[in-house]
Structure 1
Amino acid sequence: MKNIQVIDGASNCVYDIFAATDEQFALIFPGETDIAFIDEVYERGNDAQLDAVFSEIWKRPIAKKDANGIHGIIFYRLDCKKQYYPSRKDESAINPDGTLLRVEKKS
């Protein structure tokens, strides 16, 4: 199982975490991606299949205190965030000027 955090554009969003099977996770996050925007998920998939997948995922909430990592993030109604994740990988997030959002620490 992999944990997915949901970030919604609603002002009362509480950033819930849900468990997904490896197969469900791969359907939402293709390849090595770990950032997804719900409109893009549905653009590349079958609506009925995705509705069924999400219906199952929503039945598996994880309390934050019990979560053992976050493996992916789904954004709802936050298209403004797309510019920061062009590769749809969290580790490659960028600033508006194209520089990396996170600076590597040198040991």
Structure 2
Amino acid sequence: MKNVQIIDGAVNATFSVFQATAEEFEAIFPDGRDMELVEDLIDRLGDDAAGAVLAPLWDRPMLKRDALGIHGTLFYDNEDRRAHIPPSKREVDWDSGSINQAQRVLFAKHR
């Protein structure tokens, strides 16, 4: 199972974590991505298929303290973040001006 953190615009700011199967994860985050906007997921898969992929996740919440890593981040209601997300939708591809030196070194090793 892969852990997916949901970043949404809710005022409760829980940013919950849910578990996805390998197949669900690949459908949400294809081509090595680890970030996705739900609007792009829906555009790519269509409403019904995106709903079918996401529905099982909501039955698999987990406590953050029990998560052994976050494998992907799914953004809801965050269209304003689009300009800040790397076009590749991979964490290691953040613009170097958006991260600190230690992150630049780490991410360079994983590109």
Q: TM-score, normalised by structure 2?
A: 0.84
Structure 1 gaps of 5+ residues are: none
Would you identify which runs of 4 or more consecutive aligned residues in structure 1 move more than 3 Å?
A: none
CA distance in 1, matches of 2:11, 2:91: 23
Deviations, residues 20-42 of structure 1 (Å, cap 9, x unaligned): 00100010111011000000000
Instruction: Report sequence identity in percent.
Output: 35
Gaps of 5+ in 2: 107-111
Counterpart amino acid of 1:74? L
The question of whether the paired residues in 2 share the 8 Å contact of 1:4 and 1:74 is answered with yes
Q: In structure 2, how many angstroms separate the alpha carbons of the residues matched to 1:105 and 1:19? A: 29
Within 2, Cα distance between the matches of 1:105 and 1:50?
A: 35
Aligned length in residues = 102
Task: Return the alpha-carbon distance in structure 1 between the equivalents of residues 31 and 46 of structure 2.
Answer: 18
Residue 43 of structure 1: aligned partner: 43
**Contact 1:92/1:100 (8 A) holds in 2:** no
Q: 1:105: Cα distance to partner? A: 4.0
1:42–1:50 CA contact under 8 A, matched in 2: yes
Structure 2 match to 1:101: 98
Normalized against structure 1, the TM-score is what? 0.87
